[in-house]
Structure 1
Amino acid sequence: MLGRRGLNPDWYAAWREEASEQLNAKNARLQNDFRLGSWPRYDYDLKAGKLLFSEEGVVKVVTEIQIAGSTSAKAGNWLWAWANSNLPEELLSDAKLVRSFGEENGIDELAQPYVTDMSNDLEALGWELAGAMVQICNALGAYRSPRGEGGGLYLIFKNISWAN
């Protein structure tokens, strides 16, 4: 049962902050171990559920992904992947776990399709919600792919390895 719109349990703010800090640490580790953030090119294959990082036409790092959600500068909000009918079903199972966690704990921003950007920092909102998903699903880290209209598509890493 959901509480009123915008209500969250007392522990949630500190939990989300901790999840953000852990995501930053995990992403820093991925940067060190796999040079994430420094590859000249990335491509995602949503059919295969992979995000590939490459240099000079050669794939260097392969990741298995799930989709967290997306931000829209035009709409000024976040849309959870589980609520986006344009995304492949097989990449939404972790996002659905987040929705269940939100429903079980009365956390509106995890259980409702849209989260409005109240602080006027859409990218921070995206990273915070991706961080919540990384925490709930015990993922390795997250990645933001910029989108044309000024938002981003947030992906989480389930697996990562050097390409052979």
Structure 2
Amino acid sequence: MKHPDWYPAWRQEAIEQLNAKNRGLQDDFGVGSWPRYDYDLKTGKLLFSDQVVVKVVAEIQVAGSTSGKGGNWLWAWGNSNLPGDVVTDAQRVRSFGEKNGIDELTQLFVTDDNDLTVLGWELAAVMARICNARGVYRSPRGEGGGLYLTIKSISRAN
């Protein structure tokens, strides 16, 4: 895939930054350890709870999804099933890719011969860096894929 010379190192930095951000979300808000989570794409919210009571609320954007069946990543900007309000950051990523000649940011589907979960985290990390997200959450999907949600803001529920 075509990309500028600086992109691989920049992408790797995005992954490292995301790892640090996600550690912070775990430490500060328990993201990844709550017994229950729910997301509502119409409202753009991700809710973490202790089974009954919501404890943490995050504002989200959808980066994209991986499909075990399809063997690929689908960018949120190209998924017509998603509400427009939760794909505006993904559209920014596409524009960034067009401006800088980065194929994996402008092609609807991205494939990787290795691990789709890793690919999903890597592309979500790129979006988190471009759009200054607080972190990323992955919601598993039944057929072996995942839905990658960037966290724009997060707070404890009242």
TM-score (norm 2): 0.99
1:91 aligned to which of 71, 75, 86? 86
Aligned counterparts of 2:110 and 2:51: Cα–Cα separation in 1 = 38
Match of 1:20 in 2: 15
Question: In the TM superposition, what whole-angstrom CA distance separates every residue of 1:15-36 from its partner, at most 9, and x where no partner exists?
Answer: 1000000000000000000011
Say yes or no: does 1:78 pair with 2:89. no
How far apart, in 2, do the equivalents of 1:138 and 1:92 lie? 15
State how far apart, in whole Å, the 2-side matches of 1:150 and 1:56 are. Answer: 24
1:1-164 to structure 2, matched below 5 A, reads 6-118=1-113, 120-164=114-158
Offset from partner CA, 1:102-124 (integer Å, 9 cap, x none): 00000000011110122x20000
Aligned equivalents of 2:89, 2:42: Cα separation in 1: 16
* Residue 3 of structure 1: aligned partner: none
Partner of 1:159: helix, strand, or coil? strand
Structure 1: runs of 5+ lacking an equivalent: 1-5
Other structure's SS at 2:96 match: helix
Provide the aligned C-alpha RMSD in A.
0.6
Q: Secondary structure at the match of 1:42?
A: strand
CA distances 1:20-66 after superposition (whole Å, capped 9, x unpaired): 00000000000000011110000001111000000030000000000
What count of residue pairs does the alignment treat as equivalent? 158
| Partner-residue secondary structure (3-state), 1:25 | helix
- Secondary structure (helix, strand or coil) at the match of 1:86 reads coil
Could you tell me which amino acid in structure 2 is paired with residue 117 of structure 1?
Answer: D
AA at the equivalent of 2:18: L
Take 2:103 and 2:51, find their aligned partners in 1: how far apart are those partners?
A: 44
CA distance in 2, matches of 1:154, 1:37: 13
- Share of identical aligned residues, percent? 72
Distance 1:147 1:56 in 2: 20
Note the C-alpha offset of 1:74: 1.0
The CA distance in 1 between the partners of 2:84 and 2:144, in whole Å, is: 25
For residues 4 and 110 of structure 2, what CA distance do their matches in structure 1 show? 17
TM-score, length basis structure 1:
0.95
